[in-house]
């Protein structure tokens, strides 16, 4: 039954993903719907043993996302776009979390602590929707002259880490039943130690790979990708081992490891590792979104209904205002700023990865948090994807190729 369940997950998930892609909607929506259909609350075709390990599978998928984001993030591009990219890495999410803390208790009758958890789940932009489109913009040279896609790519990558760190802190508070100043002071400590630990591991791996290459024993890209995954899991284990002793963000350490490795590795080698991880992501993506859909109790989703949808749109308004504030003082015009707002609408990957965590931990808000997370994916992923695809040629300026310099008579004479 277990193998049959895996077969159904991949066949149904990929089939519905292909259908949604054909009608110009994000593939993940089809996967989510496939999970809802296969799950215990509709057709009940999945073995319970798969659902029992779904949280571990979601975490594996999140690790792959963070490694890919770290390998693709160019620190030179981040320096180029500067202040707005840094602001976009935390300000929109902070505004959205604050809005959720204010309005969720009113609309959904949850506590402020539960509203903070819900806000952290909602707060992240989706790399699965945004990153491929920003890469496309860079390939087609739309907005690249002012660094618009680079800024969005950098901000969105760091935004996910910021939200995940806050989510972890809020979950710890909910489980402990109290909120203290120390809990919030631990957040910057966890961020700093995560960056330092990950950077140290990344530089050590870069040195090891380089040393093997110098000794005519180069390591294949596939092996490098597997080694990266192994060390990523070890970094998560370090976070668990130090829990209660020292705050370290394992997820941020993973991304820092990938960035440090990319800085010390040739571009061609980095791209090959990204390619190998991309192939792993093809399978992880299906498992992630189908299993999230399967965990959704549609009764709670229907019960949340209109108030949950209203909350999602209120949070999006606050988020959009924050993105616009991040653009103040930049050289971007109103159209380019509007595109940045649209690019920060879609949610999917992180919501799928962490949306079911409160439920798996047995928290009272688990069902409602997961239901709101799935509703946010179903609403914002297609909305953001469609708006980005329809508007980028109208809102962004295409960078014109630099014409070759005219050849002077002296240069022509030299060439002859």
pLDDT in tens, 311-354: 999 999 999 999 999 998 888 999 999 999 999 998 877 787 78
pLDDT value of residue 263: 87
pLDDT value of residue 315: 96
pLDDT value of residue 404: 55
d(CA 349, CA 157): 12
* Beta strands per DSSP E along 12-168: none
142 φ, ψ to 5°? -95, 120
Instruction: Give the count of beta carbons closer than 10 Å to the beta carbon of residue 411.
Output: 11
Cβ atoms of 197 and 238 closer than 8 Å: yes
Residue located via tokens 């081992």: 241
Beta bridge partners of 398: 142
pLDDT value of residue 82: 74
10, 100, 102, 242, 305 from 302: Cα distances, Å:
27, 19, 22, 40, 5
Kindly report whether the global pTM for this prediction surpasses the value 0.85.
Answer: no
User: 27-38 and 267-295 helices cross at what angle (nearest 10)?
Assistant: 40
CA angle, residues 381, 174, 114, in degrees to nearest 5? 45
Residues 6+ apart with CB under 8 A from 394: 335
pLDDT value of residue 50: 82
- 416 residues of the chain, pLDDT tens digit each: 788 999 999 999 999 999 988 987 778 788 888 988 998 888 989 888 887 777 677 778 778 877 887 787 666 666 666 788 889 989 999 999 999 999 999 999 889 989 999 999 999 888 777 877 887 888 788 988 888 888 888 788 778 778 877 887 788 778 765 555 666 666 678 778 888 999 999 999 999 999 998 888 888 988 999 999 999 999 989 988 887 778 787 877 888 899 899 888 877 788 888 888 888 888 888 887 888 788 777 776 777 778 999 999 999 999 999 999 999 888 899 999 999 999 999 887 778 778 888 888 888 888 889 889 888 888 888 888 889 988 999 999 987 765 555 555 555 554 44
pLDDT value of residue 78: 61
pLDDT value of residue 415: 47
362: left (phi over 0), alpha (psi -120 to 50) or beta: left
pLDDT value of residue 178: 55
d(CA 187, CA 333): 35
């Amino acid at each position: 039954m277990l193998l049959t369940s895996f077969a159904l997950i991949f066949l149904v998930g990929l089939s519905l993903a292909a259908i949604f892609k054909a009608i110009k909607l994000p593939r993940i929506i089809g996967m989510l719907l496939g999970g809802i259909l296969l799950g215990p609350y509709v057709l009940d075709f999945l073995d319970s043993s798969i659902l029992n390990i779904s949280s571990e599978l979601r975490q594996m998928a999140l690790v792959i996302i963070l490694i890919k984001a770290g390998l693709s993030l160019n620190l030179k591009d981040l320096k180029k776009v500067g202040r707005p990219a840094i602001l976009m890495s935390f300000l929109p999410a902070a505004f959205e979390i604050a809005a959720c803390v204010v309005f969720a208790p009113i609309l959904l009758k949850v506590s402020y602590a539960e509203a903070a958890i819900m806000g952290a789940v909602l707060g992240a932009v989706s790399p699965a929707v945004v990153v491929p489109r920003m890469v496309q913009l860079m390939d087609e040279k739309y907005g690249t002259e002012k660094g618009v896609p680079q800024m969005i790519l950098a901000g969105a990558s760091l935004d996910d880490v910021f939200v995940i760190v806050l989510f972890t802190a809020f979950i710890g508070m909910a489980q402990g039943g109290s909120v203290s100043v120390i809990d919030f002071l631990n957040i910057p400590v966890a961020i700093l130690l995560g960056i330092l630990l990950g950077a140290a591991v990344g530089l050590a791996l870069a040195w090891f790979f380089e040393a093997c290459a110098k000794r005519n024993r180069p390591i294949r890209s596939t092996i490098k990708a597997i080694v990266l995954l192994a060390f990523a899991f070890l970094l998560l284990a370090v976070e668990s081992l130090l829990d209660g002793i020292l705050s370290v963000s394992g997820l941020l350490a993973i991304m820092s490891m990938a960035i440090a490795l990319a800085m010390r590795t040739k571009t061609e080698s980095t791209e090959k590792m990204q390619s190998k991880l991309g192939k792993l992501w093809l399978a992880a993506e299906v498992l992630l979104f189908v299993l999230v859909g399967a965990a959704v109790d549609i009764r709670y989703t229907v019960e949340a209904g209109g108030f949950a949808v209203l909350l999602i749109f209120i949070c999006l308004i606050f988020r959009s205002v924050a993105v616009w504030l991040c653009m103040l003082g930049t050289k971007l015009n109103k159209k380019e700023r509007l595109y940045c707002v649209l690019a920060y609408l879609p949610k999917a990957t992180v919501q799928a990865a962490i949306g079911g965590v409160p439920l798996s931990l047995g928290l009272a808000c688990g069902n409602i948090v997961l239901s709101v997370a799935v509703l946010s994916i179903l609403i914002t992923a297609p909305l953001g994807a469609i708006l980005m695809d329809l508007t980028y040629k109208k809102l962004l300026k295409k960078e014109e190729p630099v014409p070759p310099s005219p050849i002077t008579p002296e240069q022509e004479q030299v060439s002859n």
